[in-house]
């Protein structure tokens, strides 16, 4: 029995006598996660990566000897759900740190609330350039669209495409990324033959495909998510649209190739480069395979893992668990911190840098281009 209780403690699950549902003396942080709704295809992987990191933190002694726990709130993939979850974390649970929601629109909906209430919020997927201006309590371990937009433009240029059609998902992330791409691409002499946003969650993009066909472009820059991207690829294939598809990091997933099938073959995209040969990455993959046998590494999983590990380091450095102390500790803890996804050193705006790699679909699999 003693060994069993010790094992539970290492996992951040400690029970009080007489109250089997109450965790004792744990250091708790919040998380807003898309476990249902339009982008739930990502959420389960995010949650698993965070729980893997929490397990390792607790096996190494936790936070000043106390177990670390994450209180997850499902935002149903919406901005409204994100706001409700954020308010719950702040007013009911009174947590000083919250791991913010995926999708820039959702993150932008809650970062003013975090800033106003002096609650530290950290993002692992949200890339909109405007997040930089959210405030001093806002951090992200994922690079800004300012970097990714330039990377996609450089990809188009390096492949010799001087004229493209640009389409992007109709939310803050897509619109912002599209603007950065357009500005960078046209500054180098590129021409946008047509440009339009497409809505999330549709089952039919045939009208958009017809618009692409009318433009007669040789390349289409499609900045979108997995499900939307796969649907567009399939319907373009069915309508015999032959173009070079250029995509971003949010589409880089085995799920895209699985859903789109042969229609995804030859897609080329960019993504924040993660060195798979490092000891940290190898250890992360080994630990993942042990904890989740048969489950593939999720898109952006490494960023969620790094977010938790870096936060744990800051919590151990902070003199107390108040938001101001944690904010200062995060800045110090990040300096020179090399995680699974690279250097996580925060600049004065709470942003990190990145270098961009290229991916493609070959033989039904995502591989380096």
Q: What is the mean pLDDT of residues 338-354?
A: 95
Q: Are residues 203 and 337 in the same domain?
A: no
Asked if 44 and 6 touch (Cβ cutoff 8 Å), the reply is: no
Q: Are residues 103 and 241 in the same domain?
A: no
The SS3 call for residue 8 is helix
Neighbours of 166 (CB within 10 A): 25
Q: Are residues 75 and 189 in the same domain?
A: no
Q: Are residues 362 and 217 in the same domain?
A: yes
Q: Which residue has the higher pLDDT, 245 or 10?
A: 245
Q: Compute φ and ψ for 43, nearest 5 degrees.
A: -60, -40
Task: Provide the 8-state DSSP code for 335.
Answer: T
Give the pLDDT confidence of 40-95 residue by residue, as tens digits. 988 999 999 999 999 999 999 999 999 999 999 999 999 999 999 999 999 999 99
- Which residue, chain included where needed, has tokens 């350039």? 129
Q: Are residues 160 and 136 in the same domain?
A: no
| Cβ neighbours of residue 216 closer than 8 Å, sequence gap 6 or more | 193
Report the run of H or E that residue 56 belongs to, with start and end: helix 40-59
Q: Are residues 314 and 362 in the same domain?
A: no
Give the pLDDT confidence of 238-263 residue by residue, as tens digits. 999 999 999 998 899 899 999 999 99
pLDDT band at residue 159 under the 50/70/90 scheme? very high
CA–CA gap between residue 23 and residue 8 (Å, rounded): 11
Q: Are residues 97 and 153 in the same domain?
A: no
Give the pLDDT confidence of 193-242 residue by residue, as tens digits. 999 999 999 999 999 999 999 999 999 999 999 999 999 999 999 999 99
pLDDT band at residue 24 under the 50/70/90 scheme? low
CA–CA gap between residue 211 and residue 209 (Å, rounded): 5
Q: Are residues 127 and 177 in the same domain?
A: no
In degrees, to the nearest 5, what angle opens at C-alpha 226 toward C-alphas 295 and 202? 130
Q: Supply the pLDDT for residue 37.
A: 93
Q: Supply the pLDDT for residue 18.
A: 31
Question: Residue 77: which region, alpha, beta or left (left: phi > 0; alpha: psi -120 to 50)?
Answer: left
Count structural domains, the chain: 2
Q: Are residues 259 and 227 in the same domain?
A: yes
Report the run of H or E that residue 113 belongs to, with start and end: helix 104-116
- Comparing CA positions, the residue from 115, 125, 49, 47 lying closest to residue 86 is 115
Q: Are residues 190 and 51 in the same domain?
A: no
Tell me: pLDDT of 279 over 90: yes
Which structural domain range is residue 137 located in? Answer: 2-142+277-353
Partners of 92 in the beta sheet?
none
Q: Are residues 61 and 105 in the same domain?
A: yes
- Comparing CA positions, the residue from 100, 89, 102, 84 lying closest to residue 40 is 102
Q: Are residues 241 and 116 in the same domain?
A: no
**Tokens standing for residue 44:** 């389960």
pLDDT band at residue 3 under the 50/70/90 scheme? very low
Q: Supply the pLDDT for residue 134.
A: 95
Neighbours of 262 (CB within 10 A): 12
CA–CA gap between residue 306 and residue 2 (Å, rounded): 32
Q: What is the mean pLDDT of residues 270-282?
A: 89
CA–CA gap between residue 191 and residue 197 (Å, rounded): 17
Q: CATH no. for residue 88?
A: 3.40.50.2300
């Amino acid at each position: 029995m003693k060994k069993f209780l010790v094992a539970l403690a290492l996992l951040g699950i400690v029970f009080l006598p007489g109250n089997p549902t109450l965790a004792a003396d744990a250091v708790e942080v919040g998380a807003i996660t898309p476990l249902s709704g339009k982008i739930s295809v990502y959420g389960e992987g995010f949650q698993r990566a965070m729980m893997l990191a929490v397990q390792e933190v607790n096996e190494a002694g936790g936070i000043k000897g106390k177990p670390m726990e994450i209180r997850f709130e499902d935002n149903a993939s919406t901005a409204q759900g994100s706001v409700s979850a954020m308010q719950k974390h702040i007013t009911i649970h009174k947590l000083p740190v919250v791991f913010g929601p995926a999708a820039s629109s959702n993150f932008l909906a809650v970062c003013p609330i975090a800033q106003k209430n002096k609650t530290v919020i950290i993002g692992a997927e949200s890339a909109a350039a405007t997040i930089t201006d959210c405030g001093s309590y806002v951090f992200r371990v994922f690079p800004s669209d300012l970097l990714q937009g330039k990377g996609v433009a450089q990809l188009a240029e390096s492949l010799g495409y001087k004229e493209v059609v640009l389409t992007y998902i109709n939310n803050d992330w897509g619109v912002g990324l599209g603007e950065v791409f357009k500005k960078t691409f046209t500054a180098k002499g590129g021409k946008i033959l047509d440009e339009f946003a497409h809505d999330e969650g549709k089952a039919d993009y045939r009208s958009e495909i017809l618009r692409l066909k009318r433009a007669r472009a040789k390349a289409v820059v499609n900045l979108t998510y997995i499900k939307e991207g796969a649907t567009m690829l399939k319907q373009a294939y069915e309508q015999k649209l032959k173009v070079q598809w250029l995509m971003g990091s949010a589409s880089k997933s085995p799920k895209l190739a699985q859903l789109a099938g042969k229609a995804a073959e030859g897609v080329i995209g960019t993504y924040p480069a993660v060195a798979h040969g490092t000891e940290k990455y190898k250890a992360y993959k080994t630990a993942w395979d042990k904890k989740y046998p048969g489950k593939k590494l999720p898109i952006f999983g490494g960023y969620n893992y790094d977010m938790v590990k870096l936060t744990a380091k800051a919590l151990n450095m902070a003199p107390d668990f108040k938001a101001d102390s944690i904010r200062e500790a995060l800045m110090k803890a990040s300096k020179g911190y090399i995680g699974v996804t690279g250097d996580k050193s925060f600049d004065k705006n709470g942003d990190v840098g990145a270098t961009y790699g290229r991916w493609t679909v070959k033989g039904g699999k995502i591989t380096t281009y």
